[in-house]
Chains A and B, each alone.
Chain A
Amino acid sequence: MKRALVIVLLAIVAMPLLAAMAAMPRFGSAEQPAYTHVAKRYLERGVEEAGAENVVTGVILNYRGFDTNGEVTVIFTACAAVIAVLAGSRNRQDQREAASSVPESLVVRYVVRLLAPFIALFALYVVLFGEVSPGGGFQGGTVFGALLIVMTVAVSRNQAERLLPLRIRPWLQIAGPLSFLAVGTAGVVLTGWYLGFPQGATAATRLMLMVLEFGIGVGGATVIASIFWRLGDEA
């Protein structure tokens, strides 16, 4: 009896929901509201309004800068959480020496050493050309972070860590949120809005986009490497 009642109630709830589903535009249809207003505006006027030739970058950093600001903060928070949870490793110097004495393949080590500068250059290219071609701060940052991890595994942790000196590492870790704070404040001065960009591809807009790209890239790479290194520490 109770079961039948539940089924009837569920059916009553399901009917309007299914009817609403049927009234929605078809999956992937060009009539969807998302494609008729926002996407059209982005594609038609994105380049002149947002100041980046790559529309994706314009959307991520300019139109939806607040979303990206939140995402960058989440990444930094993740790093802070991992470091806080896995804190408390003593005499790290001993461990590092122990870690670098792990037997490794000479071929892998040589190839990684050979490729490292090119990978670093590619990461920089992806960050710098994020405005005009696919890529950007986060993509370039992850490539550089992956390079740091590969160097830790194949060469030595000391050498990889030297690229991000301990003294300034906290600043590198928070580079993403910091760059958003700086650009957001610049937006307040220039336009009166937090993260407001001047219209069009002015020098100021370009500079602001570049600062964001670099901040996201440096922050992303440092966070990835820091999490990896902290996981490698003995608890």
Chain B
Amino acid sequence: MTLEMSRLFDAGLMVLLVLCALAVVRTKDLLAASIVFSAYSLVMCLVWDHRGAPDVAMTEAAVGAGVTTVLFLSAISKTVRKEK
């Protein structure tokens, strides 16, 4: 990959990250917010790997996209789904 392409890829990921973050904050439906948050983690995982940190990317994929989402979901199932 050329440097320009790499930069473009990075920029695209950053835009996606910001969009995901805004969506998480703005959504009132907590279930949808958790799922978008897991998408955020997936994009973040790509960023880590692209920046040469595969160790962190692996952790982000397993913890951020996987475990955190599951914990959020089980917390939602014990409380309420809609944000007041």
The reply to whether B71 and A142 form a contact with Cβ atoms under 8 Å apart is: no
User: Once bound together, how far apart are the Cα atoms of A136 and B66, in whole Å?
Assistant: 18
In the complex, what distance in Å separates the CA atom of A232 from the CA atom of B63? 18
In the assembled complex, the Cα of A54 lies from the Cα of B78 at a distance in Å of 42
Most central of A126, A142, A149, A232 by chain B CB within 10 Å:
A142
Q: Which of A45-53, A176-184, A196-204, A223-231 contacts B (4 or more CB under 8 A)?
A: A223-231
Residues from 42 to 77 in B contacting A, C-beta threshold 8 Å:
54-55, 58-59, 62-63, 66-67, 70-71, 74-75
Describe B's contact surface by its main secondary structure.
Answer: helix
Q: A130: nearest residue on chain B (CB-CB)?
A: B55
Confirm or deny: A138 has a beta carbon within 8 angstroms of a beta carbon on chain B: yes
Q: Which residues of B contact A146 (CB under 8 A)?
A: 62, 66-67
Which A residues are in CB contact (< 8 Å) with B74?
Answer: 228, 231-232
Q: How many residues of chain A have a CB within 8 Å of chain B?
A: 19
Q: What are the residues of chain B within 8 A of A145 when measuring CB–CB?
A: 62, 67
| Interface residue A61 (Cβ < 8 Å from any Cβ of B) | no
Contact B71 A56 (CB under 8 A): no
**Contact (Cβ within 8 A) B67 A139:** no
User: A135 near B55 (CB under 8 angstroms)?
Assistant: yes
Q: Does A174 contact B (CB under 8 A)?
A: no
Partner of B55, one of A139, A149, A153: A139
Is A143 interfacial (CB 8 A cutoff)?
yes
Contact with B along A201-235 (1 / 0, CB 8 A): 00000000000000000000000100110011001
Assign chain B's interface to a size class. 10 to 19
Which residues on A sit within 8 Å (CB–CB) of B63?
Answer: 142
Find out whether the CB atom of A139 lies under 8 angstroms from the CB atom of B71: no
> Is A134 interfacial (CB 8 A cutoff)?
yes
Cα separation A227 to B54 with both chains bound (whole Å) = 26
A224–B59 Cα gap in the complex (Å)?
13
- Assess the A231–B54 pair: CB atoms within 8 A: no
Nearest-neighbour CB distance to chain A for B34, whole angstroms, equals 14
A231 CA / B71 CA spacing, docked (Å)? 8
In the complex where A146-B66, A149-B70, A228-B70 touch, is A139 in contact with B59 (Cβ < 8 A)?
A: yes
A/B interface sample: 25 pairs, CB < 8 A: A56-B55, A134-B58, A135-B54, A135-B58, A138-B59, A139-B58, A139-B59, A142-B62, A142-B66, A142-B67, A145-B62, A145-B67, A146-B66, A149-B67, A149-B70, A153-B70, A224-B67, A227-B71, A228-B67, A228-B74, A231-B71, A231-B74, A231-B78, A232-B74, A235-B78
Closest 3 CB pairs of A and B: A134-B54, A142-B62, A231-B74
B residues apposed to A, CB below 8 Å: 54-55, 58-59, 62-63, 66-67, 70-71, 74-75, 78
Given contacts A134-B54, A232-B74, 5 further A-B contacts (CB under 8 A): A135-B54, A135-B55, A139-B62, A142-B63, A149-B66
